[in-house]
Amino acid sequence: MKSMLFLISILFCQVLLGQELAEWRGPGRTGVFNEVGLLDKWPEKGPELIWSVENLHKGYSSVSVANNTIYFTGISDTLDVLIAVNLDGKIKWQTPYGRARTKGYPDSRSTPTIEGGKAYVSSGQGDIACINAITGEIIWDLKAIEKYDGTIGRWGISESLLILDDKLIYTTGGGKTNMIALNKNTGENIWSSESLNENPSYSSPLLIKDGDKQLIVSVTPNHIIGVSPGNGKIVWKFDNRPYAGERRKNQTNTPLYYENSLYITNGYNHKSVKLNLNENWESVSLAWVDTVLDVHHGGVVLVDGHIYGANWINNGQGNWCCINWDTGEANYETKWKTKGSIISADGKLYCYEEKTGYIALVNVNPEKFEIISSFKVPLGTGPHWSHPVIHNGILYIRHMDALMAFNIKKIQ
């Protein structure tokens, strides 16, 4: 009787939660968070640290915030783990869910995708799991790489799973298929795309929508592709090799979409491209090529007609840049610390450099890189590779084995 009542209470909670979605890079995977009422300037020592938790399972994943809970992944021995922390920084539960990558930068990368009462994660060795976001219990799991004859690149799997209606989208790579859609509730196959005979990249796919038109856009080591969400058909593919080159095919950044155009960037002196979609989204054409903003793995944001991010000079250095969305022309390239990740909210940029862990609050100004305030992240070890997240006026910073929550709300 008690177990039945418990099950009913969980189902009731899931109904109340509805279909709240939290995922990689925030709304629409854009890096632009729909937040207002944030501080225009930080105190000299940085915003107030409300709470922190240390000695966590290590990882590079960012956080997703939903259900009054913060979700992220880490590594424990040979397994990737989904971790749930409440809004006071107390660990609620930790669920091992899949085989971790254990070689060369092994710590987890997949940012959880949360929809209502379910969490969806992938592991470094190609396992997928659907987990009850309230209790931490595994609902279903799948060794996707084995089942679909997938392949794994040199640095393992980094993909954050994409949800569309009843579908869960995952990139297998390999000779059998390139991308699959699974029933998000059961893990059963809905469709499998044709194979491109390539490894998966280290990026996460993007769903773009305009009226009745929908398309999944993804980046492989050699191509940029548009996939039909309905049946998995690869509608078009753009050969990116003339621009990304033949060396270091470590594509990591989710494409950027705006008004029937796509922007794709990667580091290592690769050229970035903007592609125009035709009227029916059945083909693409090259709009312009950029040689300034080649982003390593920190993402970009589009604000008021300009793209902002950090480029790659080498693996330890990079500058902060702004280019024009319409023309691809560079507005500025400025040295500050080193390269890193970027998000935007409430008319400001949040730049998190990866080497020493400084975060800068920067004006959205296409003419110059104008820092308002900055502070150094006080906790954690290793590279600062997790992207920042803002939710309800709280800036969440994950630094490997530490999670910090900073209050950036204006005083009412």
pLDDT in tens, 139-165: 999 999 999 999 998 899 999 999 999
Closest CA to 171 of 163, 183, 180: 180
| The two structure tokens encoding residue 162 | 């994409």
28-32, 141-145, 240-244, 306-310: the lowest-pLDDT one: 240-244
Contact (Cβ atoms closer than 8 angstroms) between residue 309 and residue 296: no
* Over residues 182-209, mean pLDDT: 97
pLDDT band at 10 (very low <50, low <70, confident <90, very high): very low
Contact (Cβ atoms closer than 8 angstroms) between residue 86 and residue 51: no
Contact (Cβ atoms closer than 8 angstroms) between residue 216 and residue 164: yes
Q: What does DSSP say about strands 113-115 and 21-22: parallel, antiparallel, or unpaired?
A: antiparallel
pLDDT over 60 at 135, yes or no: yes
* Over residues 12-39, mean pLDDT: 82
What percent helix, strand, coil does the chain show, rounded to 5? 5, 45, 50
* Over residues 230-252, mean pLDDT: 91
Separation of first and last alpha carbons in the chain: 48
pLDDT digits (tens, 9 = 90+) for 348-376: 999 999 999 999 999 999 999 999 999 99
- Arithmetic mean of pLDDT over the chain: 94
Which is higher by pLDDT, 56 or 4? 56
Closest CA to 377 of 349, 350, 346: 350
Q: Is 276 exposed, middle or buried (0-12, 13-18, 19+ CB in 10 A)?
A: middle
pLDDT digits (tens, 9 = 90+) for 292-339: 999 999 999 999 999 999 999 999 999 999 999 999 999 999 999 999
Helix, coil or strand: residue 167:
strand
pLDDT over 90 at 55, yes or no: yes
* Over residues 16-35, mean pLDDT: 87
| Per-residue model confidence (pLDDT) at position 224 | 97
Mind listing the domains of the chain with CATH numbers?
33-58+298-384+386-412 (2.40.128.630), 60-202 (2.40.128.630)
| Per-residue model confidence (pLDDT) at position 308 | 98
pLDDT digits (tens, 9 = 90+) for 76-130: 999 999 999 999 999 999 999 999 999 888 899 999 999 999 999 999 999 999 9
Which is higher by pLDDT, 277 or 245? 277
| Per-residue model confidence (pLDDT) at position 87 | 98
pLDDT band at 286 (very low <50, low <70, confident <90, very high): very high
| Per-residue model confidence (pLDDT) at position 398 | 98
| Per-residue model confidence (pLDDT) at position 249 | 83
pLDDT over 70 at 269, yes or no: yes
| Per-residue model confidence (pLDDT) at position 104 | 82
* Over residues 241-256, mean pLDDT: 88
Q: Given its phi and psi angles, is residue 396 left (phi above 0), alpha (psi -120 to 50 degrees) or beta?
A: beta
